[in-house]
């Protein structure tokens, strides 16, 4: 069970993910979670750095798609704003990931999911056979159920780290202009 909760890569934020590395390992499509991965929870604002990373991903030729457990109206708004299609379904169920693969037109092995929650994004992604990338949540404001799951996530992350299973990559998030 623990292996299904283990991301292939664990980074601080989207900006730490090397797009050329994804291309090198055969990734063609990227599925993004929304809340606390692309935007702060409940917010529709996307930071300029995140916007640039998303545009870079598109420019690299990756097919991109959103997959969120939030309300449809919110997903549609973000999808429209970012000009990124969205898939239907509730993570971690397999149907949600099949919907995303259908939108992207990629196979599981050609696809990565990027998200901030182990029990939805990573568990579902691993079960569906995707390359899974865990990012740290952008904020601590979340649903009450998510706050409870964060405690379990911390236990899982500690166990994975103890067993040397966590492939963590750190990066310099400072603005080069500073």
Binding site for Mg ion (CB under 5 A): 33, 35-36, 116
The distance of closest approach from Cβ of residue 121 to Mg ion in the complex, given in angstroms and rounded to an integer, is 7
CB-nearer residue toward Mg ion: 151 or 174? 151
The distance of closest approach from Cβ of residue 135 to Mg ion in the complex, given in angstroms and rounded to an integer, is 9
The distance of closest approach from Cβ of residue 27 to Mg ion in the complex, given in angstroms and rounded to an integer, is 20
CB-nearer residue toward Mg ion: 8 or 70? 70
Please, is 30 exposed, middle or buried when counting C-beta atoms within 10 Å of its C-beta (0-12, 13-18, 19+)? Answer: buried
CB-nearer residue toward Mg ion: 19 or 40? 40
CB-nearer residue toward Mg ion: 41 or 62? 41
d(CA 32, CA 117): 12
**59 phi/psi in degrees, rounded to 5:** -65, -30
d(CA 76, CA 85): 9
DSSP character for 119?
I
The distance of closest approach from Cβ of residue 20 to Mg ion in the complex, given in angstroms and rounded to an integer, is 25
**Under a CB-based contact definition with an 8 Å cutoff, are residues 113 and 33 in contact?**
yes
**Under a CB-based contact definition with an 8 Å cutoff, are residues 58 and 92 in contact?**
no
CB-nearer residue toward Mg ion: 29 or 115? 115
What is the arrangement of strands in the sheet containing 168-169, beginning at the earlier edge strand? Answer: 63-66, 29-32, 111-115, 131-135, 9-11, 168-169
The distance of closest approach from Cβ of residue 125 to Mg ion in the complex, given in angstroms and rounded to an integer, is 13
């Amino acid at each position: 069970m623990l292996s299904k909760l283990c991301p292939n890569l664990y980074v601080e934020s989207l900006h730490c993910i090397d797009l050329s590395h994804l291309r090198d390992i055969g990734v063609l499509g990227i599925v993004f979670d929304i809340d606390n991965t692309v935007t702060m929870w409940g917010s529709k604002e996307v930071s300029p750095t995140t916007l640039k990373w998303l545009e870079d991903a598109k420019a690299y030729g990756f097919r991109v798609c959103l997959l969120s457990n939030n309300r449809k109206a919110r997903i549609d708004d973000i999808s429209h704003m970012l000009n990124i299609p969205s898939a239907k379904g509730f993570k971690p169920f397999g149907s949600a990931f099949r919907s995303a693969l259908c939108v992207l037109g990629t196979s599981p092995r050609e696809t990565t999911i990027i998200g901030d929650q182990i029990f939805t994004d990573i568990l579902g992604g691993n079960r569906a056979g995707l390359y899974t990338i865990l990012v740290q949540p952008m904020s601590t404001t979340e649903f009450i159920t998510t706050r409870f799951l964060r405690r379990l996530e911390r236990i899982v992350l500690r166990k994975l780290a103890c067993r040397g299973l966590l492939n963590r990559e750190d990066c310099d998030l400072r603005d080069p202009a500073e």
